[in-house]
Amino acid sequence: MNKNNKINLQFCLMLGLLMFSGFSFAESAITGLHFLHKDWELACDNTGVCRAAGYQAEDHEARPVSVLLQRAAGAKAPVSARVKIDAAHIPARRKPLQLAMLGRSYGTVALDPRSGEGRLSAVQAQALLKAVQSAQPVIWTADGAEWALSAAGASAVLLKMDDFQRRVDTPSALVRKGAKSSAGVLTMQPLPLVQIKNYQRGIAKRWNADAAPAQQLAARLKKSAAKEDCWALHEGNYLPEDQIAIYPLNRQNVLVEAPCWRAAYNYGYGYWVMDKALQQTRQFVTSSASSFSEGQIFAAQKGRGIADCGSQDEWAWNGSRFVKTYQAIQAQCKGFAGGAWEMPLLIARVQSAQ
């Protein structure tokens, strides 16, 4: 297996592990969750908000369509619903979508002409919940075109949402309602605040990756990064344009950026917090990031070449270390460039300290 295929496989395996796992973050009291089943997926974040997304069936002839059901924690929290179609297929005359399900018409949904997104009414949302749990067709039509939402996987995903929000067997459950007290239903948690402190902007120092100073530094960096995560660094397998960059953080620390791996349409840089003398590694942050700016590290990895699914991660410098402030996964490759919806597992408010 060549390295490109190996990295792509590692990314797919990573998504597979995340799909059925919880996430535990030291900065959050609630563990985020991602779950995938058939044509539906679920992402619940550290504040207690859950987002369930459904798509068209796996049929290459089907037109891309997606529905997002969103619900905050709390016994009385309502369910909101939005629909999105591929912007390239928005009706030319900008007609609203006609919605039909449960053997009858449920009116129309107006679409934003730029995003292809529309909001369902409360009545439409409740009917849609009933339809997908009954495996009934949910069809949108406009200008002779049709978009069909798949119900496959919906019940499992909605039950997982209820379970995460501790609604199972309570009156507010979506799937398995009951008379159990709502006292134990998950409550909303405040959005964590991460302040970027003790950060000083400055000009980065850059060395060609094969230069002697870079090679000496690489020897130290390899001690904290496994070869399978950062093979370019371990093997010295660089492109001619590859560099190792050293960004100032403050008087005591710098951030080192080095190429770790590359694939057909993905690449990953490693980031290390080190002392200014470049002798001591104080934190190894990640081997799969994309860039650094203004005290934050950003990572965006594509699930496949057309970039209609993938993952995003962000970290912020809190004055002593980088902490994760955002994590999202779009696991369904369903024809929406960049993903149909934002599906976060971890969110935080990032603020620059004065």
pTM of the full structure: 0.89
**What is the C-alpha separation between 137 and 150, in angstroms, rounded?**
7
Q: Are residues 256 and 290 in the same domain?
A: yes
Question: Quick check: is 18 in a domain?
Answer: no
Quick one: pLDDT band at residue 17, thresholds 50, 70, 90? Answer: very low
Q: Does 19 score more than 50 pLDDT?
A: no
What domain range includes position 138? 31-189
Buried b (16+ CB within 10 A) or exposed e, 212-242: eebeebbeebeeebeeebbbbbbeeebeeeb
pLDDT above 90 covers what percent of the chain? 79
**What is the C-alpha separation between 279 and 285, in angstroms, rounded?**
17
CATH code for the domain in which residue 43 is found: 2.60.40.1880
User: What does the pLDDT average to over 216-222?
Assistant: 97
- Positive or negative, the Cα torsion across 322, 328, 331, 332? negative
Question: Quick check: is 316 in a domain?
Answer: yes
pLDDT above 70 covers what percent of the chain? 90
Among candidate residues 174, 189, 204, the one where a domain is terminated: 189
Residues in the chain, how many?
Answer: 354
For residue 88, what pLDDT is reported? 77
Query: Which neighbouring-strand residues pair with 206?
Result: 245
> Mean pLDDT score of the chain, rounded to an integer?
90
Q: Are residues 36 and 109 in the same domain?
A: yes
Backbone angles phi, psi at 18, to 5 degrees: -70, -30
Question: Quick check: is 10 in a domain?
Answer: no
The total of other beta-carbon atoms located within 10 Å of residue 19's CB is 16
DSSP 230-271: -HHHHHT---TT-EEEEEE-SSSEEEEEEEEEE-SS-EEEEE
- List, for residues 279-315, the tens digit of each pLDDT value: 999 999 999 999 999 999 999 998 877 778 899 999 9
Q: Are residues 176 and 291 in the same domain?
A: no
In the structure encoding, which two tokens stand for residue 120, read together? 């369902």
Question: Quick check: is 56 in a domain?
Answer: yes
For residue 113, what pLDDT is reported? 86
Indicate left, alpha or beta for 102 from its phi (over 0: left) and psi (-120 to 50: alpha): left
- List, for residues 250-260, the tens digit of each pLDDT value: 999 999 999 99
Question: Quick check: is 90 in a domain?
Answer: yes
Q: Are residues 174 and 216 in the same domain?
A: no
Q: Are residues 330 and 207 in the same domain?
A: yes
Q: Identify the burial level of 14 via C-beta atoms within 10 angstroms of its C-beta, where 0-12 means exposed, 13-18 middle and 19 or more buried.
A: middle
- List, for residues 74-92, the tens digit of each pLDDT value: 999 999 999 999 877 777 6
**What is the C-alpha separation between 313 and 326, in angstroms, rounded?**
5
Q: Does 339 score more than 50 pLDDT?
A: yes
Side chain identity at residue 250, one-letter code: N
Q: Are residues 59 and 122 in the same domain?
A: yes
User: What does the pLDDT average to over 215-228?
Assistant: 97
Query: Which neighbouring-strand residues pair with 291?
Result: 298
- List, for residues 125-161, the tens digit of each pLDDT value: 999 999 999 999 999 999 888 999 999 999 999 999 9
Q: Are residues 175 and 206 in the same domain?
A: no
For residue 303, what pLDDT is reported? 83
Q: Are residues 76 and 166 in the same domain?
A: yes
Q: Are residues 184 and 206 in the same domain?
A: no
Pairing of strands 267-275, 253-262: antiparallel
Quick one: pLDDT band at residue 231, thresholds 50, 70, 90? Answer: very high
**What is the C-alpha separation between 30 and 16, in angstroms, rounded?**
21
The total of other beta-carbon atoms located within 10 Å of residue 34's CB is 26
- List, for residues 266-280, the tens digit of each pLDDT value: 999 999 999 999 999
For residue 9, what pLDDT is reported? 38
Pairing of strands 296-302, 291-293: antiparallel
Q: Are residues 181 and 201 in the same domain?
A: no
Q: Does 20 score more than 70 pLDDT?
A: no
Report whether 141 contacts 100 (CB < 8 A). Answer: yes
Looking at the 3D structure of the chain, how many domains does it have? 2
Q: Are residues 217 and 100 in the same domain?
A: no
Pairing of strands 349-352, 193-196: parallel
